[in-house]
Amino acid sequence: MHELVERLYPLCRSITGDGVRRTLEIIGELVPLDVHEVPTGTQVLDWNVPKEWNIRDAYVKDPTGAKVVDFAESNLHVVGYSVPVSARMPLAELRGHLHTLPDQPGLIPYRTSYYAEDWGFCLRHETLESLRDGEYEVVVDSTLADGHLTYAEHVVPGRTSEEVLISCHTCHPSLANDNLAGIAVATQLARRLATTSPRYTYRFLFAPGTIGSITWLARNRDTVERIRHGLVLACAGDGGGLTYKRSRRGDTQIDRAVGHVLRTSGRPHRTVDFSPYGYDERQYCSPGFDLPVGCLTRSTYAGYPEYHTSGDNPAFVLPESLEDTLETCWEVTRVLEEDRRVLNLSPYGEPQLGRRGLYGALGGRSDTKQAQLAMLWVLNLSDGTRTLLDVAERACLPFRAVAEAAQSLEDAGLVREWNP
């Protein structure tokens, strides 16, 4: 996953353009993608697909001819969607187009101007402080013209048409944690799910933030009803603990599944309520759709000093954090996949487990007590009204222990799956 972050990092992505296409080509080497191109001007809900932006070069030269800002050094140096410019101007005029972080003078900020035709440069504040008066040469070699918005889907077919949506954004340039880490985790999760025979169909969406999810929703209004659970993945690789932001409803099965996995795993974490500010969960959870989609990050949206700066580089992303996020996602899918109702077929008194070999089969296991307790809880609560997740939450036991107990009891003929 970290190698994928490093490979994608140099590409200049935006909400449209060849950087997005190249990103999807690389992801497509790992998982097959269905790529969609939506023409400029297409109405998508209350929005319209914007013009396509591409950039080849950009720089600022000081009065001596030295490049003091250079797109070739970092694609963050150019304000995203900057219109073409080739001009000479005094520093006093140029300053109105320069953006820095005075409180973080050694970092380059990330800025965009998607829906207002403008241009600008981002630079280290310490560089700005060193600039001398005089005439500067300014070049932005870009195009802003009719084209397409590009997004892609990867589907892992399930035994049912009910879907789990995994969404991540592809619109940021060289920002490793906010964007690329989520892409890397989603890609690896898709590869792992492909080795199973899942109950649900898993739809992975790689799309530019906001306008991409809005476009996808607009083009899938008749099918989004198939989505039973969903996660937006972002900021998936920094050293912070995991953060789960609940769906708008706050009590959906994805909210319960993620909350249960985090509580029983021992991982440092926090869970926060939904707010209409952040990543694309705010589009999926808009009131007209109100989909059961939460957001899983480590550090939160705008919640760490390196956020939207050149400090968010591959060194900021930790392989062990990527792995931890992936394993958390995997455990959540196990809850979604294996949660079910079972019915106790011997509900009058506690059935004798010993003569069925259920106690003896547990000998020598370090978790024998937990496994026995899980069996008793499953038997007691399996009256046809509760799922295994209900049992795990009530018993304060890991879902895995409860699911294994239910399978052992089913194999012994004491419970059976129940679909009222």
Q: In three state form, how does the secondary structure of 306-373 look?
A: CCCECCCCHHHCCHHHHHHHHHHHHHHHHHHHHCCEEEECCCCCCCCCHHHCCCHHHCCCCCHHHHHH
DSSP 65: S
Gap between the Cα atoms of 37 and 148, Å rounded: 6
Nearest by Cα to 175 from 269, 48, 75? 75
DSSP 75: G
Rg of the chain's alpha carbons, rounded to an integer? 26
Q: pLDDT tens for the chain, 420 residues: list them.
A: 999 999 999 999 999 999 999 999 999 999 999 999 999 999 999 999 999 999 999 999 999 999 999 999 999 999 999 999 999 999 999 999 999 999 999 999 999 999 999 999 999 999 999 999 999 999 999 999 999 999 999 999 999 999 999 999 999 999 999 999 999 999 999 999 999 999 999 999 999 999 999 999 999 998 899 999 999 999 999 999 999 999 999 999 999 999 999 999 999 999 999 999 999 999 999 999 999 999 999 999 999 999 999 999 999 999 999 999 999 999 999 999 999 999 999 999 999 988 888 875 545 555 568 889 999 999 999 999 999 999 999 999 999 999 999 999 999 999 999 987
Domains of the chain, by residue range, sit at 2-50+148-338, 53-144, 341-417
- Amino acid occupying residue 64: T
pLDDT at 304: 96
Query: Strands 121-122 and 98-99, how do they pair?
Result: parallel
Give CA separation, 375 vs 197, 301, 340, in Å.
26, 41, 15
pLDDT at 365: 53
pLDDT at 60: 98
The secondary structure element, H or E, covering residue 87 is strand 85-90
Residue 41, helix vs strand vs coil:
coil
Sign of the torsion formed by the C-alpha atoms of 167, 169, 174 and 178: negative
Class of domain 53-144: alpha beta
In the numeric block, the tokens 């004491």 are attached to: 414
Q: Read off the pTM.
A: 0.95
pLDDT at 368: 67
Gap between the Cα atoms of 184 and 63, Å rounded: 43
Q: Looking at domain 341-417, which of 1.10.760.10, 3.30.300.30, 1.10.10.10, 3.30.200.20 is its CATH number?
A: 1.10.10.10
Class of domain 2-50+148-338: alpha beta
Gap between the Cα atoms of 92 and 202, Å rounded: 54
pLDDT at 367: 59
Gap between the Cα atoms of 93 and 4, Å rounded: 41
Angle at Cα 224 formed by Cα 292 and Cα 50, nearest 5°? 105
